[in-house]
Amino acid sequence: MRTHEQTVQEQFDPQAEAYLTSAVHAAGPDLQLAKTLISRTVPVAAQALDIGCGAGHLSFALAPLLARMVALDPSPSMLAAVSKTAAERGLGQIETQQGTGESLPFADSSFALVCTRYSAHHWTRLELAVREIARVLAPGGDALIIDTLGHEDPLVDTFMQSIELLRDPSHVRNRSRAEWRSLLQSAGLLELECAAWPTRLEFTPWVERMRTPVDRVAVIRSLQDGGPKEVRQALTIEPDGSFTIRTGLFWLRKAA
């Protein structure tokens, strides 16, 4: 029987190239806002950590603004893709390290910036991971958290979490904005800015990225077609199965 960590690696190791070229991951308003926040706040000599870096899009976007970026991920294939692409783009600030958000292999107060993008919904112990983020942040340091959001309506949220899990067995949970705020506040991280926007997921690339089996794809489509009106409207479910969720961004600071 596989552990969750083994499931994550089995899901993502073969998919490094798919995530490197994914339009949803390679671009988006969150990356532009992230660059704006870092450029106006974080010193250029700063050292940063990108937790659950995946194919490295956040690291690539922010590295030119920093002295050092450590890209951390449990997947060796993702880390290899990040190293290769960083070298091709001349991003010598980026170095890679294997690890997970729940147990960061760094000393207290190691980084002026800790960030993560589209990774936290795979973490089994999110409260612990948030405490780890606060631990490795230097006093007065900043944190940037970007992830797809859970829905505030329980009916819509249950439906959304169900199709996410059918598509990707390494999925744990998308947290709502309220859940995130509670966790971050408990860890002593002060919210400076919060933003959210719609993210459209084109159905075929969405399931292909995770190599979702045909039988599970059929169940997802059946759920979508038979979903109640409230769910179909909230997720803007389209005839081909494409749908829209929301991405959230939290900009935070640790007390000096």
Note whether 31 and 193 are within 8 A (CB): no
Q: How many domains does the chain have?
A: 1
Give a yes or no: residue 228 inside a domain. Answer: no
129 token code pair: 């991971």
Give a yes or no: residue 229 inside a domain. Answer: no
Residues 6+ apart with CB under 8 A from 210: 11, 15, 167, 168
Give a yes or no: residue 156 inside a domain. Answer: no
Give a yes or no: residue 217 inside a domain. Answer: no
The pLDDT of residue 22 is: 52
Give a yes or no: residue 140 inside a domain. Answer: yes
Give a yes or no: residue 94 inside a domain. Answer: yes
The pLDDT of residue 28 is: 80
Residue 108 domain boundaries: 4-151+171-198+246-254
Note whether 231 and 156 are within 8 A (CB): yes
Beta-strand ranges (E) seen in the chain are 47-51, 68-73, 94-98, 111-117, 137-148, 189-201, 243-254
Question: How do 47-51 and 243-254 pair as beta strands?
Answer: unpaired
pLDDT tens-digit profile, the chain (256 residues): 666 565 555 555 555 455 455 555 655 889 999 999 999 999 989 999 999 999 899 999 999 999 999 999 999 999 999 999 999 999 999 999 999 999 999 999 999 999 999 999 999 999 999 999 999 999 999 999 999 999 999 999 999 999 999 999 999 999 999 999 999 999 999 999 999 999 999 999 999 988 999 999 999 999 999 999 999 999 999 999 999 999 999 999 999 8
Identity of the residue numbered 34: A
* CATH assignment at residue 192: 3.40.50.150
Give a yes or no: residue 87 inside a domain. Answer: yes
Give a yes or no: residue 83 inside a domain. Answer: yes
